[in-house]
Structure 1
């Protein structure tokens, strides 16, 4: 938390005059963090991310793009192990959470997380310089994420890493990525971007429950067949590698609507709205 957000303004317990010091401290420990405290925590992290070097962002983005591939592999492995039943998707969707657990807990750079974290410093102190820093971060992280997903899917498609049964399951799991028309894909992406940015907003208040927050939020993304630009890129590029889709399909049926939707969902529905609720407090 930065110095311009004093604790006594954010802690309701400090305003209670009939408690002794130990009781005030106990209340503080039991109290939920305020929206302003969550905002300042994420904003401080965003400031640090904007200052990172291009090389550091690129390497972290590549790591995230590779790690998110496990959100495609694990569901496919589960599909081969589970019987063909109406409830199968409810269990295989749990496998989708694995890549996000690795990325978020490993502090790797994922584009959809960055629709919130670096945007808060820009909203707090708008300037052309900060806008350039945000666009620089987005460009480097998105490009490195996408490159890594293509590398990961190429390994899945063109090496004997997995047997034919699992490869067929990966293809089956991936086909839903290309099935929706542009408008429906865009709306699915808005909801996914909204949920992932909300996950980032929830993290400072989650404490030791961070893994459960990640699992719950990303499970909803998977079970509802929502569109995520990075995890979905592993699926869509895999279909291109095995000849079931073209580069045009990848670009216009998946990439463009999903990128637009994820960005809108994260920036507008989470960053702007949550900033709006704390802006009056921060200005006082």
Structure 2
């Protein structure tokens, strides 16, 4: 009789222990969410992988990219920047070709503005040095660790990349006019686009440049968050610059210098009314506004 009682007690203990084990296993496989649903470990990992990365993570990705750019030697930067300037000229070319064939048709401006995205897409995918992109990436290391050394490296990067971009865009504009690849109607389309740019006052160049710099900075930030939608992000952001009539120092330099070579504008006008105000606007929009705000958000502990 005592043996049976002990046997029943052990059985009950075993059943209780089994129940506790099952409960513990179930608990490890579930997580109560705010919605009341339970998620397995695999499902929870899936949610975490699909969730948007925190701002601090994006900041670190871009900062490290900027750190690598600051370490590159001058020759590498110069050649890459020159190639980027030439490539960006294709934004001007593509828009001009579309403008010629779409002129007079309803919605022609919205369609020919699509050509503006081509140079940006080629430069960014090819990882060439574009000044307005570097405005954000290269300034974050300085904001993270302010020092005379980092400031000097930033100025070196900006000056080399900007010079290379402008020389490349200028060479492209000269070739576009003098290599006789387009007839008079095609050349007239390029001049018409150049006139649209040069009709802006210096103040308009500056304020529109702020928006262009800001959009490019947002583009860089968004591309750091995803690999799959990079092309779509580039196309959408640069198309907005085109239809908004915002001014970009590199593409605009190809347009402005084309006007100079065609005798439609003076070099002084291109430099003083377009280049300097636009450059200042791009730097303010991409660095002093967007980069500074993004850095402040991360420093203050924002997600």
TM-score normalised to the size of structure 1?
A: 0.91
Aligned with 2:134 (options 114, 117, 124):
114
1:62-101 map, 5 Å = 62-101=82-121
Supply the distance in 2 between the matched residues of 1:202 and 1:31 (Cα, whole angstroms).
Answer: 14
Measured against aligned partners, the alpha-carbon deviations of 1:82-109 in whole angstroms (never above 9, x if no partner) come to: 2413511000001100000001111111
Greater mean deviation of Cα atoms: 158-167 or 210-219: 158-167
Aligned-pair distance for 1:23?
Answer: 2.5
Aligned with 1:104 (options 102, 124, 129):
124
The question of 1:127 aligning with 2:147 is answered yes
Aligned-pair distance for 1:180?
Answer: 1.0
Indicate conservation of the 8 Å contact 1:206/1:213, yes or no.
Answer: no
Aligned counterpart, 1:158: 178
Aligned with 1:189 (options 196, 204, 209):
209
Measured against aligned partners, the alpha-carbon deviations of 1:118-167 in whole angstroms (never above 9, x if no partner) come to: 10110001100000000000000000000001100000111112222211
Measured against aligned partners, the alpha-carbon deviations of 1:153-194 in whole angstroms (never above 9, x if no partner) come to: 000111112222211111111111211111111101111111
Aligned with 2:190 (options 162, 170, 174):
170
Aligned counterpart, 1:39: 59
Aligned-pair distance for 1:30?
Answer: 1.2
Q: Which runs of 4+ in 1 moved over 4 A?
A: 16-20
Aligned-pair distance for 1:79?
Answer: 1.4
Structure 2 gap segments, 5+ residues each = 1-29, 33-38
Aligned counterpart, 2:50: 30
Aligned-pair distance for 1:20?
Answer: 4.6
Aligned-pair distance for 1:24?
Answer: 3.0
Structure 1 gap segments, 5+ residues each = 1-15
Relative to 1, partners in 2 of residues 1:83 and 1:259: Cα closer, same or farther, differing over 3 Å? closer
SS at 2:245 equivalent: coil
Greater mean deviation of Cα atoms: 164-173 or 237-246: 164-173
TM-score normalised to the size of structure 2?
A: 0.85
Supply the distance in 1 between the matched residues of 2:289 and 2:105 (Cα, whole angstroms).
Answer: 36
Aligned-pair distance for 1:25?
Answer: 1.9
